[in-house]
Structure formats: structure tokens, C-alpha cells
Structure 1
Amino acid sequence: MTTRSGPSVLEIAGIGFGPSNVALAIALEETYGAGVNSPGLTMEFFEQQPAFGWHRGMLMEDATMQVSFLKDLATMRDPGSRYTFMAYLKAKGRMAKFINSKTLFPLRVEFHDYLEWVADHFAPVVSYGSAVLGIRPVVEDGVMEYLDVIVRTSEDGSDPIVRRARNVVIGTGLTPWLPDGVEESARVWHSSRLMDRATSLTGTLRGFVVIGAGQSAAEAAEYLHRTFAGAQVNAVFGRYGYSVADDSPFTNSIFDPEAVDEFYGASQEVKQDLLGYHANTNYSVVDLSLTEELYRRTYQESVLGRQRLRIHKASRVRAVEEHRDGVRVTVEHLPDRSVEVLDVDAVVYATGYRPSDPASLLQDLLPECKLDDEGRLTLDRDYRIVTAGDLRCGVYLHGANVERTHGLSAGLLSNTAVRSGEIADSIVKR
């Protein structure tokens, strides 16, 4: 292994450079003057993707955000930040036009452009195309003072590089999840690849099957129905209909920054209750306006006698058989056990995501980490992994991995700006 040129010891090494660690970079720069060449607080981030990207496969041109633009990467922490969404609009010359649109929810493609705009400001402290292989403790005088981050920067067999840091912040995001036994192919995809895979199809298309009942499933069904005018779109899910997301004002307060303190201090039983009560704010639910639009289309088509959007409610997929010319999907209607066979061009699994497991990077550190009764990492309120007393360096977690300890906002944009500020403050104060 080789040591990368640069500061001998970084104060902060970030693993992943999605919205959470971008927000951390903002907080570290604006509050503490951090930078790659900062004499007092150096930082560097390692991102596996070749360039910044956030759910690129679902960037439909008319899809909107489900969270207010005010919950961007900085506003909730510091409304005067130069990295707010409003600052982005000012830089792009669209502030007045956006205000005139009278919306809190910008287009998803525009918000992604905002995220890229911010990420570009930190290009000097980001190594793209860099996969972190592991984290090793460095012991001096019997105390773990530093962490060596092992990074592979290419696929050509070159030796990994090593970057030494006092603190590591893991923000590796979510991983697309497929049911056991399902493998992606040219005709079977996870919804996270929708845009790339769908646009690669050519010729006259017969139809699609979309599996799932959440926002991504509904958006995929709507997009395919609108884009491929001659194709039939079959939405398959076990419910009787799409469940609507609860975004009412009182319920939304579970995403407020102060709710994190309440959740963290609650008993395990209360935490489980709260997660269960409010799962319908984010999981397997759909915006009301989208469900209404899909229903309107199915009704219109039933009147016209051309049913191209078909909703297979209370149903499940029993078999998916790919062949040279398409995919044969067997769908079972659960109430009466009847079976229908669909011959389509592609199947989209909108089956959600799972948090990336940070333990895979921390094998050499696990003996020093406190685990709960279920063998999971224990976190302090400041998102730092609780470790033994002889480990002075810090490891922090972002995102969905901390939902069980810090609440529903942990893996969402809602609290990203505040959470990142808290992590930055903890690093500096320690």
C-alpha cells in the first residue's frame, strides 16, 4: 500500500459524498474554516461513484421533491449560508421565477442540480472513483490515536492508498434491495436504474410490470405509462391500493431537530412505537396527488375501452421467467387465488433500499465498539460510535443506520443540515 500525498494526518476523513457528507463539508468549512489545506482542520472525502450523483435513476423530468426546499443542506443550520437552495437559485438567476412558482417543492432534477452545484465547490477535498476497503486503528503508546482509511482508487490492480485521520464519518447511504433469488439483467431492474434502462429499450414495446406499492413504484408506473404510449403497464402489489403518505403538519414535527433529542432519550419500547406509528410518513407510501393521477388515468382508460394502465391489487408475483424476447410474469390474485400470465418487455422491482452496513468497514475496530443486545453498533447523541476508553479517535455514522437510535429523520434530508452541524461541533469540541 502507498500513502497519498497531502496532510500527514487528516482531522476528518469522510466515506461517501452524498448529501449527508456534503452538508458536513459545508458545516466544517463555514463554522471552522476546514479545507484540504487548512492549517487547523483538514478534511477529505472518498466517494465510490465517478462523479456526484443522488438517485440519478429516478430523475424524471416532472418529478418533484417530497420535502421542502428549506430543508436543504444548510438552511436549517444557518439560513445565511452561501450554500442554501436560495443561494443556488440566486447564482443561477432563477430566484424570482422560483418564487413566482409558489411552491415549496422544486423539481427533483433542479434539486439534484443544486446538490451538484454545492458538491462542485468541494471538489478539491473529494476523491471520486474511490472505494474504501476498510478502516484500521493506529496504536501509539497503547492508545488508538488515529485511523488508517484503506482506499482503492482504480480497478487496474494498483495498490490501495492509505490516508490517516483522527476522525472518520461514514455516510455511505442506501443500497438497492431485491427479493431473494432476483438478479438484475437487461430486462429485470431495480427502480434505481429506471431512467437508464428504460431509455435503452428500442422497437415496439408490449408492456412492463412494476412491483411495489411505494413512491418509487408509483412514479415508475406513471413514467412508463406516459413515456411508452403503446405499451401496457401492470402495477402489482399486495395492498388493495396505494397508501397515501402522511405529510400533515402535526405529523411532520417528528422530523424537527428537537424531536431527535426526545427520540434518543426515549426507552426502546417508545422508540419502536414511534417508528411504527409514523412509518407511513416515508415507507411504502405515495403522495396523494400521484395516486389521484394514476386513478384518473385508469378510470379514463376504462371509459375509452383501452385499458393500458392496469392495477393488480391484492396480488403478488409468483414467477418471473426471462427469455430471449421478453419476460413472462405470473401474477396471483390473492383473494381468489386466480392466476394471470403477462408477457412483457421488462420488470421493474420498486422494492426499496437497505442501509449500507458500516460494520463491514470496521472489522478491525469492532472489538473496541460497544454493541447493543442485538449486536448492533451503539451511538452517542452526537452520532459517534461508543468505543472503549483507549480509543481517542472518533467514528461517526450518518443516515439510515442511525434511525433506530435517532429517529425517522436520520436517513432523510429533513434534518441533514442540523445533524451535520452537530457532528462537526462534536469533532471540534473533542
Structure 2
Amino acid sequence: MSLREPETYDVVGVGFGPANLSLAISLEEHHANVLTAPITSTFFERQPCFGWHRNMLLPSATMQISFLKDLVTFRNPVSRFSFVAFLHEQDRLAQFVNRKEFFPTRREFHQYLEWAEARMSNVVSYGSTVTAIRRPPEPARSPADDHLQLEISDAVGGGTRVVNARNIVISTGLRPRMPEGVERDERVWHSSEFLEKYGRVKPEELRSVAVVGAGQSAAEITNFFYEQLPHAQVHAILPAYGYSVADDTPFANQIFDAAAVDDYYFGDDRERDAFWRYHRNTNYGVVDDADIRHLYQVSYDEEVAGVKRFHYLNLTKVRTVERNGRGRTVHLRSPHGRGPQKLEVDAIVFATGYDTMDPAELLGDLDRHCLRDESGKHRVTRDYRLVTTPDLNCGIYLQGGTEHTHGLSSSLLSNIAVRSGEIADSIVRRRAEQDLVPAGAVRSGVTG
């Protein structure tokens, strides 16, 4: 470990996906708008380079949100980091408008994210993993300038270093979810690794494939297999009768408006439960109408032609997956044994969703200073900051893991610009308040 005095930053971000990229931009734009000293920040990302769901950048797959819900526009419509500014610089703004579509392809939106990241690359270290967050040793603590220490492991050079942070913003992303008892391997994939794993096998080896799940990713991968592997049998394993349509009608889409966060955050338990019951079908386990209709038409055309290689296994779940040479035997469960009990495949993809991030895993012993509610979940302020005990003044903010307090949009792109702006505003405001505290004064009360 380096013996140099650790550098101290106002903000240290853990993870550098779209959420913390948006935050970095918001902090950058604060520099131009405040008269006080700029907020210093740095971010650490364990990946070797920037990437956002790279393994689901399927041909022609489109975003489910408007291009206006980019990194900045809902916070600052005149930002130089907007999607429109990106299109203008790429000299294809007119061509994009001529499409008469709100929704760019996922590949183009990823290009936009990379374009924005390239303008903020000076604040991020890639191949750098935050391995621990802790309070500084007792002699180094100052009640007037509280901070935390982060231990960083760098892939390049293999060294370890320490930085100090007055505020930490955790955005480590979602964790792929697999069914209990099923392990990933070279022929058992989660959708989050799809294109990478698919690229490692020869297409001609995939004569029978299966996709598990009923959401957007499952439908897209199923269609990809069907189009890219004309020689293969394609099996869609769904827990229901079929895919359910995503509700993207105008009234329902208001659930993703920034104002809806207040309705959820300040609502009681019954009101919050109603949010999920009424509006879960806007995002979870649902598929765009056009994709559903396309897959149904494919199945129907096969019925007309009398050639069947597209198989829907409805009301079916996977029990276990066994290795069988280079292939896999998939054991199934369906009501009354109505379908096949096992399936021989050359590859199977689980588009079974994600678990939200848990900050406790990263915080370690520090988590005991973070207060929890009656259900055991972290208490979070409206500005996405963990509520902590009185002796911990450093701000710990979450970009993700706050669905229980902030609702559906708390980890989605839909509200990313406003959310990052609120976090940046909170950090700037708190520093201004701290600057007014006389040296040596001791703060009191629960922070939050």
C-alpha cells in the first residue's frame, strides 16, 4: 500500500455507468454556475473501459425510453452533453429527425454514452475496484471535516491505494439473477453476458437453444436466435401463457416523471404498495407490443407452413440443468405434466432479471452506522442519502437500491438526469452548510 498522504475529494463515486456519468456531468456543470470553489470529484470503475449492457446491444434493438431522457436534458435542456448535441456533432441530427421516432436503437444510445464519457474521462479510473470503505484512524478524524477512506485495487500494476471522500456515491449496478441451483457456464448463460458468450461458440454447433424468461430481454434473444440460427430449434420457456405487453401509454408513463418520486417517497405503505400493483407492468417482466406481435406472427407462419422450429413452452419453469457432454439437459416443470419434462439443448439463456445492489456488501463494518427501517431496509433521505448515526457526517448516496423508498424510477434511465442533479445539489448544499460550521464545532443529531 502506498505511504503517500491520501488525496481528499468532495465526491468519490463507486462505479461509472450511466448514473454516475450523469452525476459527474452535473458536478461539472455546477463548476460553471457556482461562485464558491469547485466540487472536486473522482470515480472508480472495475471494468477496463466504459460499457452499459454491452451484451444486449442486439441488431435493431431499440430503447424503451425517449431520447430526451438522456443524461442531462430533464435537468439542463441546454447542456452540451445532450443526445441532441451528440447527434449534431455526428452530423446526423436531420436524419434522426426524419425517422419520426422517439426511440433510438440501443447501439446508437450506447454510442451517445461513450461520446459523453469521453468528455469526462479525466475524472474516472478504469480497472479500479473499491475493495473497502472505512472510517479513518481515530487521530485523523476531525468533527469539522469528516471523511471516509476508500481502498482501491488497480488492475494495471496490481497496486493498492487509498483516497479520502467527504461524500461517496455508490452505483455498482444490478446483479444478474439465476434460478436457485442453476450455475452459469460456457453453455448456460445469463442475458447480461449474452453476446460475449454467443461469440465464443460456432453458430453451427447450436442446433437446439432455449431462452428462459418472459421480459423484453427474453423476447429479443429469442428473436435473435430464430433469425441468426435458421438451422436451430428455438425453445421459449415462459412461466405464463405468453409475453405480457408493456404499458407505455401516456398516463401510465407519468409514473416515471420526476414528480412521481415525491408521491412515492412521501406516501404511506398502502400508497406505495398500490404503486407497484398498478404500475409494475410498465417495466418489469413485460415486452413491447411490436415484439410480441412479431414473435406470434413467426409462430403462426410456421403453423401455416407446417414447419416447426419455434417452440413455446408455456406455464413452464426450469428445475435443474445438467451437463451432457457439450450440451445441457434441462429438466422442466409444468402443470399436470402438460409439456415436455426435459429438453436437450446446446445452449440455454436465462433472461431472469437482476437483483438490486446492496450497499451493505461494500460498506462492511461501516454499515452499522447506517440506520434501517422496520422491515430491515436502509433508511434513505429524499436526496438519495443513507440516514446515518450522529457520529458519521460523511454523505453516503445511492444510485440504485432505493426502490423501497423512491419507487420504480430510482434505478432507471428515465429519471437519471433529475436524480443526479438532486444528488449534486445536495452535495453542494451540504458543503456550503459545513463551511459555515466553526472549526472544532461538533455536529449532533442523526444525519438525515
| TM-score of the pair, normalised by structure 2 | 0.91
Q: Deviation per CA, 1:200-230, whole angstroms, max 9, x where unpaired?
A: 2213431101111111111110111111111
CA 5–114 in structure 1, closer or farther in 2 if over 3 Å, else same: farther
Conserved 8 A contact 1:45-1:127: yes
Distance 2:9 2:350 in 1: 41
Pairing partner for 2:108 from 107, 110, 124: 110
Question: How far does residue 3 in structure 1 lie from its aligned partner after superposition?
Answer: 6.1
Instruction: Point out 4+ residue stretches in structure 1 off by more than 4 angstroms.
Output: 3-6, 141-144, 335-338
Equivalence for 1:413: 413
Equivalence for 2:91: 93
Output the amino acid matched with 1:148: Q
Q: Deviation per CA, 1:22-53, whole angstroms, max 9, x where unpaired?
A: 0001110012349xxx9632110000110001
Conserved 8 A contact 2:246-2:287: yes
Output the amino acid matched with 2:121: A
Q: Deviation per CA, 1:303-331, whole angstroms, max 9, x where unpaired?
A: 11111111111112233222223112233
Equivalence for 2:190: 190
Q: Deviation per CA, 1:326-353, whole angstroms, max 9, x where unpaired?
A: 1122334324444343222101011101
Conserved 8 A contact 2:237-2:313: yes
Output the amino acid matched with 2:296: Y
Distance 2:298 2:119 in 1: 43
Distance 1:189 1:99 in 2: 37
CA 26–3 in structure 1, closer or farther in 2 if over 3 Å, else same: farther
Equivalence for 2:200: 200
Equivalence for 2:13: 14
Distance 1:346 1:282 in 2: 27
Distance 1:172 1:231 in 2: 37
Question: How far does residue 142 in structure 1 lie from its aligned partner after superposition?
Answer: 5.8
Distance 2:384 2:182 in 1: 34
Q: Deviation per CA, 1:90-129, whole angstroms, max 9, x where unpaired?
A: 1111100000011000000000110111111111110001
Residue ranges of structure 2 left out of the alignment (5+ in a row): 431-448
Q: How many residues are aligned here?
A: 424
CA 28–180 in structure 1, closer or farther in 2 if over 3 Å, else same: same
Distance 1:313 1:176 in 2: 23
CA 11–142 in structure 1, closer or farther in 2 if over 3 Å, else same: closer
Is 1:375 matched with 2:376?
A: yes
Equivalence for 1:80: 78
Conserved 8 A contact 1:369-1:377: yes
Conserved 8 A contact 1:134-1:360: no
Equivalence for 2:388: 387
Conserved 8 A contact 2:182-2:320: no
Question: How far does residue 141 in structure 1 lie from its aligned partner after superposition?
Answer: 4.5
CA 406–421 in structure 1, closer or farther in 2 if over 3 Å, else same: same
Is 1:210 matched with 2:211?
A: yes
Out of 245-254 and 135-144, give the one that drifted further. 135-144
Q: Deviation per CA, 1:139-193, whole angstroms, max 9, x where unpaired?
A: 524677001111111287x442111011000111101111121111111100111
Aligned counterparts, 1:288-307, within 5 A: 288-307=289-308
Aligned counterparts, 1:216-231, within 5 A: 216-231=217-232
Output the amino acid matched with 1:82: R
Equivalence for 1:429: 429
Conserved 8 A contact 1:12-1:168: yes
Pairing partner for 1:70 from 59, 68, 71: 68
Distance 1:378 1:104 in 2: 36
Equivalence for 1:24: 23
Secondary structure class of the residue paired with 1:370: coil
Equivalence for 1:48: 46
Conserved 8 A contact 1:143-1:390: no
Equivalence for 2:258: 257
Output the amino acid matched with 2:323: E
Output the amino acid matched with 2:242: G
Between the two proteins, what is the percent identity of the paired residues?
47
Distance 2:362 2:175 in 1: 15
Out of 305-314 and 285-294, give the one that drifted further. 305-314
CA 354–3 in structure 1, closer or farther in 2 if over 3 Å, else same: farther
Question: How far does residue 249 in structure 1 lie from its aligned partner after superposition?
Answer: 0.6
Conserved 8 A contact 1:65-1:105: yes
Equivalence for 2:433: none
Question: How far does residue 68 in structure 1 lie from its aligned partner after superposition?
Answer: 0.5
CA 55–141 in structure 1, closer or farther in 2 if over 3 Å, else same: closer
Out of 267-276 and 415-424, give the one that drifted further. 267-276
Distance 2:225 2:60 in 1: 13
Equivalence for 2:161: 161
Conserved 8 A contact 1:89-1:95: yes
Distance 1:319 1:385 in 2: 39
Distance 2:383 2:3 in 1: 30
Question: How far does residue 280 in structure 1 lie from its aligned partner after superposition?
Answer: 0.7
Output the amino acid matched with 2:23: L
Conserved 8 A contact 2:322-2:328: yes
